[in-house]
């Protein structure tokens, strides 16, 4: 029912994960470099993929690079920075349509991989650093992106809650770092940082498509032939045990129409823990689905919100509840939300809620098998979390969760931070 | 209307679609996708936010709706006498959802188990309305919050402000969800009247995709329809106001809490509103090519604007058209809207002088073709978009072949016609002045 990856190592130590399947119309390739999340290097990590994406030695500017990709039938090259727990992952992707839908013969894997290899492993340099224009241009863009977080109020409120809650932890670092950190980065320092981490940090390369293993190995080996150190950096694990001495309350006002309520909880359960599946079920019953308590009580019964849900920061052991409400309804909404958590802790969970949540979670897991992006990101979760679950293992884990385990999860969960974004008095 | 069956084959995409038609006019499309775990079904009605003024042949009585009824009805169908519809999908492990656009309302689920029961459930709840004073009132609160959320959403605002600038009368100028005021006028009677018109099977279609046996799905849908005692219905006359050629307002500016201005520039396509569906689809494809050639990331303009820090990666252009309206839209966040506006207009004017090279045209054609193929990985994409094309009598699977047919000359003609400086409008969202 589920296809798994075959694991290989390229001569330079890059791990290759290949999944042969004729299900998709595409060839998907993705490269991830694992690094620690912390304030000191966050801006460097965010800037690096942005600069690399501007051009390589072989394709020295964006124009040349994009035209090459267009001629490869709109192959899509992406460069990004991901934050997962206290891991910072530099991510590149290249997706091409499969040749068989174009009457071509096997050239797109080779060409797509070569572009990906060129951009990540053979960058454009001048005088011992990256190209000056690219570095300053991308700094400007990232500073703009950091400021732009404000534009989407739902995301803004979420990120503010996390930053305040985890101000003294590595996880409190925003994935793009902070504006002032960019001042100190110059093109030489960024390049030597690039050389260091591309030589020493763990790198995973994923390939999914209707392809032959020998060919993938050969093509990947050619495209990613840069030399790497035998010594691999060890990355510090995510801290999930921080106690909560008292609940903190933060409020901010702005000229907006709707108030945003964000509640940050600590679950003390990590991705690799035995209680991970019970935590998934817990959060599912509470707020991950339209049948969940939060949606039913806050939205369907009280009519207070359009969106209200709980989400897990699974690698950091956090649970975050978000809702958009009328400011005047704050107390009523808080009461209803608190009552749902109390009901979870006292075991007031119906058989229907439990069964529906199990089914919903299993449906999500199975559905992930139909998307190359999700097949890659769920496996990447395993690398980050230090424990690789197959879809089958998670499904069996979820089926086996009982009420006692949910209660054990509930007893550990602690509210840490309340964040409210309020409409300004007499505002818009 | 009698039962009907045909196969729609697409050789480029290696797809075979099964099309059935059942009394009294419901279309069913089944696309088998071996190896997919997920099965996805969407049940749509050709009723969107712009259908706010109509009558049904031969009845002369005209109904005029406050804004936001199609969307309100979508919310309300999820509740019936037995309670909440979400619960019943949840018990079957399915994930349900719905959405309303300018032209359609769609109800859908995806599941990996219990497909037949889920499909029955979808067919049943959409065909069994239940509206009361009490449930309507509660929904006014929920949708009120949805509207407020969008009021704070700068990209949403800049988009609808642009449409309100382009259109004087056409209802595409109004927000899909309506306003807090307009939805306060909605009553159960009004919802029933719309329901009985637009939710007649002859105005609806079902699309199902996944590892499925088409004939079996066909039998199931046919049986579900059989017991419902539908009568044939007269044609729905969608009464759209006569839209003048000129725009409504040259420039709209709204202050919101944003980090920098957002600028959308729109060109009203008066020609699109008069086209039959075939030429309309061709025009969409041509405009997609033209806009990509003008504003895409592989061209000089984009790279210069990016280098000058006037745009970011989200800058883009798109064309959208339906049988009663059409527009091209260009824009994104920018530190200097005046400069960006000037550069875009200059590029539009230069296109007419300089034209498109054969190399450019072929390269962008390849890119768009590859994009179509890649999007066919997604069952949701296929199902949702297929019915949107179907409701205006287009065959979505023709996209690759039309793309191969169109010529550079046609593209230039369409570009000059649509990107007419005399019919453009500007919409800006700007940060409030510093206090």
Cα–Cα–Cα angle for B68, B71, B74, rounded to 5 degrees: 150
Query: In this complex, is the C-beta atom of A72 within 8 Å of any C-beta atom belonging to chain B?
Result: yes
Are the C-beta atoms of residues B162 and B252 closer than 8 Å to each other? yes
Which pLDDT value is given to residue B384?
A: 94
CB contact under 8 A, B369 and A70: no
Instruction: Report the top-level CATH class of A6-223.
Output: alpha beta
Q: Which CATH architecture has domain A248-423?
A: 2-Layer Sandwich (3.30)
Which pLDDT value is given to residue B1?
A: 45
Strand A248-254 relative to strand A414-423: parallel, antiparallel, unpaired? parallel
Residues 6+ apart with CB under 8 A from B82: B88
Q: Look up residue B51 and give its two tokens.
A: 């259908």
Q: What is the mean pLDDT of chain B?
A: 95
Residue A2's CB: how many other CB atoms inside 10 A?
13
The shortest CB-CB distance from A150 to any of B86, B95, B259 is to B259
| d(C-alpha A4, C-alpha B104), whole Å | 40
Whole-Å CA distances, A271 to A313, A360, B54: 9, 19, 55
Are the C-beta atoms of residues A379 and A208 closer than 8 Å to each other? no
Residues 6+ apart with CB under 8 A from B366: A70, A71, A73, A74
Nearest to A254 by CA among B423, B179, B154, B113: B154
| d(C-alpha B17, C-alpha B396), whole Å | 11
State yes or no: pLDDT of A382 exceeds 50.
yes
Stretch A400-411: mean pLDDT: 97
Cα B104–chain centre separation: 7
Are the C-beta atoms of residues A394 and A369 closer than 8 Å to each other? no
Cα–Cα–Cα angle for B94, B97, B103, rounded to 5 degrees: 145
A200: closest CA of chain B, how far (Å): 30
State yes or no: pLDDT of A427 exceeds 70.
no
Q: Look up residue A386 and give its two tokens.
A: 């230090």
Query: In this complex, is the C-beta atom of B91 within 8 Å of any C-beta atom belonging to chain A?
Result: yes
Region at A124 (left for phi over 0; alpha for psi -120 to 50; beta for the rest): beta
Percent of chain A scoring above 70 in pLDDT: 99
| Chain B hits for A294, Cβ within 8 Å | none
CB contact under 8 A, A303 and B258: no
Task: State the helix-helix crossing angle for A132-148 and B300-307, rounded to 10 degrees.
Answer: 80
Are the C-beta atoms of residues B217 and B119 closer than 8 Å to each other? yes
User: How would you write chain B as a 3-class SS string?
Assistant: CCCEEEEEEECCCCEEEEEEEECCCEEEEEEECCCCCCEEEEEEECCCCCCCEEEECCCCCCEECCCCHHHHHHHHHCEECCEEHHHHHHHCCCEEEEEECCCCEEEEEEECCCHHHHHHHHHHHHHCCCCCHHHHHHHHHHHHHHHHHHHCCHHHHHHHHHHHHHCCCCHHHCCCCCCHHHHCCCCHHHHHHHHHHHCCHHHEEEEEEECCCHHHHHHHHHHHHHCCCCCCCCCEEECCCCCCCCCCCCEEEEECCCCCCEEEEEEECCCHHHCCHHHHHHHHHHHHHHHHHHHCCCCHHHHHHHHCCCCCCCCEEEEEEECCEEEEEEEEECCCHHHHHHHHHHHHHHHHHHCCCHHHHHHHHHHHHHHHHHHCCCHHHHHHHHHHHHCCCCCHHHHHHHHHHCCHHHHHHHHHHHCCHHHEEEEEEECCCCC
The shortest CB-CB distance from A258 to any of B152, B306, B373 is to B152
Nearest to A206 by CA among A194, A218, A191, A216: A216
Q: Tens digit of pLDDT per residue, chain B (435 long)?
A: 457 789 998 888 899 999 999 999 999 999 999 999 999 999 999 999 999 999 999 999 999 999 999 999 999 999 888 878 988 999 999 999 999 999 999 999 999 999 999 999 999 999 999 999 999 999 999 999 999 999 999 999 999 999 999 999 999 999 999 999 999 999 999 999 999 999 999 999 999 999 999 999 999 999 999 989 999 999 999 999 999 999 999 999 999 999 999 999 999 999 998 999 999 999 999 999 999 999 999 999 999 999 999 999 999 999 999 999 999 999 999 999 999 999 999 999 999 899 999 999 999 999 999 999 999 999 999 999 999 999 999 999 999 999 999 999 999 999 999 999 999 999 999 999 875
Cα–Cα–Cα angle for B341, B342, B347, rounded to 5 degrees: 100
Tens digits of per-residue pLDDT, A286-342?
Answer: 999 999 999 999 999 999 999 999 999 999 999 999 999 999 999 999 999 999 999
Q: Look up residue A58 and give its two tokens.
A: 């072989």
Find the residue in A nearest to B362 (Cα). A71
CB contact under 8 A, A144 and B378: no
Q: Is B288 a catalytic residue?
A: no
For residue A123, give the DSSP letter.
B
CB contact under 8 A, A137 and B12: no
Query: In this complex, is the C-beta atom of A107 within 8 Å of any C-beta atom belonging to chain B?
Result: no
How many CB pairs lie under 8 A apart between chains A and B? 195
Q: Look up residue A102 and give its two tokens.
A: 């174009």
Which pLDDT value is given to residue B406?
A: 98
| d(C-alpha B64, C-alpha B55), whole Å | 9
Find the residue in B nearest to A365 (Cα). B112
Tens digits of per-residue pLDDT, A246-266?
Answer: 999 999 999 999 999 999 999
Residue B425's CB: how many other CB atoms inside 10 A?
23
Catalytic annotation, pick one of B15, B74, B235, B243: B74
| d(C-alpha A152, C-alpha B259), whole Å | 10
Residue in the block written with tokens 């990101």 = A377
Reported as a pLDDT band with limits 50, 70 and 90, residue A188 is very high
Cα A250–chain centre separation: 26
Which 146-185 residues of chain B touch chain A by CB within 8 A? Answer: 146, 148-149, 151-155
| d(C-alpha A158, C-alpha A161), whole Å | 5
Q: Which domains does chain B have, with CATH numbers?
A: 4-238 (3.30.830.10), 251-430 (3.30.830.10)
B245: closest CA of chain A, how far (Å): 34
B260: closest CA of chain A, how far (Å): 8
| d(C-alpha B309, C-alpha A125), whole Å | 22
Reported as a pLDDT band with limits 50, 70 and 90, residue A426 is low
Query: In this complex, is the C-beta atom of B430 within 8 Å of any C-beta atom belonging to chain A?
Result: no
DSSP H/E element including A159: helix A153-165
Instruction: Give the number of residues written for chain B.
Output: 435
| d(C-alpha A289, C-alpha A305), whole Å | 15
User: How would you write A291-332 as a 3-class SS string?
Assistant: CCHHHHHHHHHCCCCCCEEEEEECCCCEEEEEEEECHHHHHH
| d(C-alpha A345, C-alpha A337), whole Å | 13
Largest CA distance in chain B: 69
CB contact under 8 A, B312 and A145: yes
Residue in the block written with tokens 């969760």 = A401
Residue in the block written with tokens 């727990």 = A85
Cα–Cα–Cα angle for B35, B40, B42, rounded to 5 degrees: 155
HSE at residue A412, side-chain half, CA atoms within 13 A, is 21
Query: In this complex, is the C-beta atom of B402 within 8 Å of any C-beta atom belonging to chain A?
Result: no
CB contact under 8 A, B149 and A154: yes
Strand B79-80 relative to strand A414-423: parallel, antiparallel, unpaired? unpaired
Reported as a pLDDT band with limits 50, 70 and 90, residue A428 is very low
Query: In this complex, is the C-beta atom of B219 within 8 Å of any C-beta atom belonging to chain A?
Result: no
- Mutate one of B374, B376, B399, B435 to test the A interface: name it (highest A CB count within 10 A): B374
| d(C-alpha B310, C-alpha B332), whole Å | 9
Residues 6+ apart with CB under 8 A from B422: none
Residues 6+ apart with CB under 8 A from A146: A174, A176, A177, A178, A179
Cα A166–chain centre separation: 17
Question: What is the torsional sign of CA B19, B22, B27, B33?
Answer: negative
| d(C-alpha A134, C-alpha A55), whole Å | 9
Sequence ranges of chain A with CATH classification 3.30.830.10: 6-223, 248-423
The shortest CB-CB distance from B432 to any of A145, A255, A369 is to A255
DSSP H/E element including A93: strand A87-97
Q: Look up residue B212 and give its two tokens.
A: 């499925």
Whole-Å CA distances, B33 to A22, A370, B20, B209, B213: 11, 11, 18, 7, 10
Stretch A79-99: mean pLDDT: 97
| Chain A hits for B113, Cβ within 8 Å | 359, 362-363, 366
Strand order across the B39-45 sheet: B4-10, B15-22, B26-32, B204-210, B39-45, B105-111, B95-100
| d(C-alpha A326, C-alpha A336), whole Å | 14
């Amino acid at each position: 029912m589920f296809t798994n990856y075959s694991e290989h190592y390229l001569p330079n130590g890059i791990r290759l994960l290949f999944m042969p399947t004729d299900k998709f119309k595409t060839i998907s390739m993705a490269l991830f470099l694992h690094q620690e999340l912390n304030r000191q290097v966050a801006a460097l990590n965010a800037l690096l993929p942005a600069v690399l994406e501007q051009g390589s030695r072989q394709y020295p500017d964006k124009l040349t690079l994009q035209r090459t990709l267009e001629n490869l039938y709109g192959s899509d090259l992406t460069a990004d920075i991901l934050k997962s727990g206290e891991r910072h992952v530099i991510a590149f992707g290249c997706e091409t349509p499969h040749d068989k839908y174009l009457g071509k013969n096997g050239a797109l894997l080779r060409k797509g991989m070569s572009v990906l290899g060129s951009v990540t492993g053979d960058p454009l340099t001048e005088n011992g650093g990256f190209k000056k224009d690219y570095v300053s241009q991308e700094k400007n863009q990232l500073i703009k992106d950091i400021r732009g977080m404000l534009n989407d109020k739902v995301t803004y409120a979420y990120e503010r809650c996390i930053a305040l809650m985890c101000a003294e932890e590595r996880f409190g670092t925003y994935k793009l770092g902070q504006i002032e950190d960019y001042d100190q980065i110059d093109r030489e320092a960024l390049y030597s940082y690039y050389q260091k981490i591309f030589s020493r940090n763990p790198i995973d390369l994923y390939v999914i498509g209707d392809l032959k293993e020998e060919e993938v190995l050969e093509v990947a080996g050619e495209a990613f032939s840069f030399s790497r150190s035998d010594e691999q950096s060890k990355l510090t694990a995510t801290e999930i045990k921080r106690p909560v001495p008292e609940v903190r309350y933060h409020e901010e006002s702005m000229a907006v129409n709707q108030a945003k309520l964000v509640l940050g909880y600590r679950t003390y359960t990590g991705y690799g823990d035995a209680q991970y599946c019970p935590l998934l079920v817990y959060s599912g019953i509470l707020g991950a689905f339209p049948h969940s308590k939060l949606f039913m009580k806050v939205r369907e019964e009280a009519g207070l919100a359009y969106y209200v849900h709980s989400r897990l920061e699974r690698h950091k052991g956090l649970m975050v509840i978000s809702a958009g409400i009328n400011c005047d309804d704050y107390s009523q909404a808080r009461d209803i939300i608190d009552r749902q958590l109390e009901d979870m802790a006292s075991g007031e969970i119906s058989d229907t809620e439990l069964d529906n949540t199990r089914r919903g979670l299993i449906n999500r897991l199975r559905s992930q098998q139909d998307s190359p992006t999700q097949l890659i990101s769920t496996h990447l979760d395993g690398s980050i979390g230090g424990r690789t679950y197959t879809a089958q293992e998670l499904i069996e884990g979820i089926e086996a969760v009982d009420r006692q385990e949910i209660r054990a999860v509930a007893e550990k969960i602690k509210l840490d931070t309340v964040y409210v974004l309020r409409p300004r008095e007499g505002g818009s | 209307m009698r039962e009907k069956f045909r196969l729609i084959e697409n050789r480029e995409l290696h797809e075979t679609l099964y099309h059935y038609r059942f009394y009294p006019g419901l279309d069913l499309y089944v696309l088998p996708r071996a190896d997919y775990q997920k099965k996805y079904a969407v049940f749509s009605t050709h009723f969107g936010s712009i259908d706010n003024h109509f009558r049904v042949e031969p009845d002369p009585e005209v109904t005029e709706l406050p804004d936001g009824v199609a969307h309100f009805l979508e919310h309300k169908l999820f509740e019936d006498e037995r309670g909440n519809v979400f619960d019943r999908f949840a018990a079957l492990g399915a994930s349900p959802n719905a959405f309303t656009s300018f032209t359609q309302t769609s109800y859908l689920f995806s599941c990996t188990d219990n497909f037949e029961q889920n499909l029955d459930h979808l067919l049943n709840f959409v065909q069994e309305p239940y509206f009361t004073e009490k449930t309507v009132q509660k929904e006014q609160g929920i949708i009120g919050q949805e509207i407020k959320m969008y009021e704070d959403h700068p990209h949403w605002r800049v988009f609808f402000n642009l449409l309100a600038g382009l259109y004087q009368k056409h209802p595409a100028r109004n927000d899909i969800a309506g306003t807090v005021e307009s939805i306060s006028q909605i009553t159960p009677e009004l919802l029933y009247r719309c329901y009985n018109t637009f939710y007649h099977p002859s105005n609806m279609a079902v699309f199902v995709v996944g590892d499925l046996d088409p004939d079996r799905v066909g039998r199931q849908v046919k049986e579900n329809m059989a017991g419902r005692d539908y009568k044939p219905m007269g044609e729905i006359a969608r009464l759209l106001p006569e839209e003048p050629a000129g725009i409504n307002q040259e420039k709209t500016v709204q202050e919101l809490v944003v980090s920098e201005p957002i600028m959308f520039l729109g060109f009203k396509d008066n020609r699109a509103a008069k086209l039959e569906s075939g030429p309309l689809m061709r025009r969409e494809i041509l405009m997609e090519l033209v806009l990509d050639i003008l504003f895409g990331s592989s061209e000089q303009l984009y790279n210069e604007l990016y280098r000058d820090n006037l745009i970011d990666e989200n800058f883009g252009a798109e064309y959208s058209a339906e049988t009663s309206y059409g527009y091209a839209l260009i824009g994104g966040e920018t530190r200097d809207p005046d400069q960006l506006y000037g550069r875009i207009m200059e590029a539009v004017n230069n296109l007419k002088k300089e034209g498109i090279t054969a190399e450019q045209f072929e390269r962008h054609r390849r890119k768009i073709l590859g994009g179509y193929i890649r999007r066919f990985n997604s069952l949701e994409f296929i199902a949702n978009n297929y019915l949107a094309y179907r409701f205006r009598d287009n065959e979505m699977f023709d996209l690759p072949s039309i793309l191969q047919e169109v010529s550079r000359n046609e593209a230039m003609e369409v570009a000059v016609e649509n990107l007419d400086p005399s019919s453009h409008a500007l919409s800006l969202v700007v940060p409030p002045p510093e206090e």
